[in-house]
Amino acid sequence: MLIGELANASGLSREALRFYEQQGLIRSRRLANGYRDYPAETSMLVQYIRTAQQLGFTLAEIGDRLPAIWDAADPGPALTQVLAVKLQEIDARIAALQALRQTLAERVATDCPLRGAAAAA
C-alpha cells in the first residue's frame, strides 16, 4: 500500500505517517521508484496507535510497548497488562494532583499564601 493509500485509509496525513515511520512505529519498504510501500496490516497498526494516543499514551510509550503486544502469540493479555499499568499511572497522577489541590486550597485560606499555614501560626 502506498503512502497516499494509507493516508486515505487511516485518516492521517502523509506527514504524520512519515513521522510515525521516523519514530519507528511503522515500517515501509522502498519501491524501485523510491515510493514507500506499506504492508496491508499497517492500516490496523496506525489505528492502534491513534487509539492508544486517545487513551493517553505518548508516542514514546506506544513505541516502547508495541513490540511486546505485536510479538505475543495472544496479544489480548499483553494489551490488558499495558492498559492496567497505564491506569495505575493515571491513578497516581490523579492522587498527586489532588494532594497539590489540597495544598493550594490550604494556602488560599491563609493570610499570606506564600508562607502557608505553618508560617502564619
Query: pLDDT tens digit string along 20-76?
Result: 999 999 999 999 999 999 999 899 999 999 999 999 999 999 999 888 887 888 888
CB atoms inside a 10 Å sphere around CB 10: 21
Q: C-alpha distances in angstroms, 63 versus 20, 97, 102?
A: 10, 27, 35
Contact 26, 59 (CB under 8 A): no
Rounded CA-CA distance 93/37 in Å is: 40
Whole-number mean pLDDT of the chain? Answer: 90
pLDDT of 120 above 60: no
Q: Is the sign of the CA dihedral 60, 63, 69, 71 positive or negative? A: negative
Degrees (nearest 5) of the Cα angle 7, 10, 14?
A: 25
Q: Which three cell numbers stand for residue 58?
A: 505518548
- pTM for this one? 0.73
Rounded CA-CA distance 6/12 in Å is: 8
List all residues 6 or more positions away from 55 whose beta carbon is below 8 Å from its beta carbon.
Answer: 83, 86
Residue 112 pLDDT level (bands cut at 50, 70, 90): confident
% of the chain beyond a pLDDT of 90: 70
Contact 26, 42 (CB under 8 A): yes
The pLDDT value recorded for residue 92 is 98
